[in-house]
Amino acid sequence: MNETIYLKRLEQREIKPTAIRLLILKTMMQHKEAFSLLDLENELDTVDKSTIYRTITLFLAHHLIHGIDDGTGALKYAVCSNDCNCEVDDLHTHFYCENCHRTFCMKSIHVPVVTLPPGFTVQSINYVLKGLCPECSSTKKTP
């Protein structure tokens, strides 16, 4: 991808572009599925771990990425689409494969609307489906 794409993504979210932020965003955008902090640290082994963590925190605050709690104990992340503001209308389903341990964003499947009793206010929603991804489903043989 052209470097200007990464530059524009940062500028759209009012994030000052630096060489490290561009590198981290480029690495994030190369992922087809959600990734963890450890994944990034392993891929960007020349970048200080605290710099990666601070950059993730900044990207989360500016809605450039969103966090996913898939139940594995390690928060995963995925790059938001250009029109996402991480509001309830932008929320989508995630799928965790119990065989290969990858987490996928299902952007076309929105989180179901739940009506709560009076007095309850939703702060966040986490909707994760678990099972086998297509790749693992095709390799699993049923008896």
- Numbered residues of the known binding site: 97, 100, 133, 136
Residues flagged as binding site for Zn(2+): 97, 100, 133, 136
Contact between 47 and 54 under an 8 Å Cβ cutoff? The reply is no
Minimal CA–CA distance to 14: which of 71, 117, 85? 85
Residue 141 in tokens: 């043989």
Give the three-state DSSP class for 60. helix
Residues constituting the chain: 143
Q: Report residue 25 as tokens.
A: 């965003």
Burial readout 77-90 (b: 16 or more C-beta within 10 A, e: otherwise): bbbbeeebebeeeb
Chain-centre distance for alpha carbon 87: 14
